[in-house]
Amino acid sequence: MRTTSSVPSAAWALSVVRVRYFAAAAEAAGCEEQVLPEASTSLAGAVLTVGDVRRALIELYGDPMARVLASGSFLVDGVVSRDDSRPVGSTVDVLPPFAGG
């Protein structure tokens, strides 16, 4: 498994979002961490959201990542979120569903 990956994209530019993957999410991504370019607010007029990251990851990694994200959650700058409208900061963790209690 790769430790890091960088995904270039013409649609996203300027700043970046670090995405860290854990357990099944890391398996689906084939790496534990990668950098995604963040949408430029000066060019796109919008802030990158959890929903944007979710769509990008499903586009990149297909059904295996979609299954993880269907019941998993995101940790956005230290706060758990399942809200697709939540703006992301500099770091997003992809957390698989957890068993137990």
For residue range 39-80, list pLDDT tens digits in order. 433 334 456 899 999 999 999 999 999 999 999 999 998 899
For residue 16, name the pLDDT band (cuts at 50, 70, 90): confident
Instruction: Determine the Cα–Cα distance for residues 82 and 74; give it in Å rounded to an integer.
Output: 6
Residue 48 and residue 17 in contact, taking contact as beta carbons nearer than 8 Å: yes
Q: How many CB atoms lie within 10 A of CB 35?
A: 14
Largest interatomic CA distance in the chain: 44
Q: Say which CATH number the domain at 60 has.
A: 3.10.20.30
The count of domains in the chain is: 1
* 78 inside domain: yes
- Whether the pLDDT of residue 14 is over 50: the answer is no
- For the chain, how many residues are written? 101
* 67 inside domain: yes
Report the percent of the chain where pLDDT is more than 90.
55
Report the pLDDT value the prediction gives residue 40, as an integer from 0 to 100: 36
Q: Which pTM value belongs to this model? A: 0.75
* 100 inside domain: no
* 10 inside domain: yes
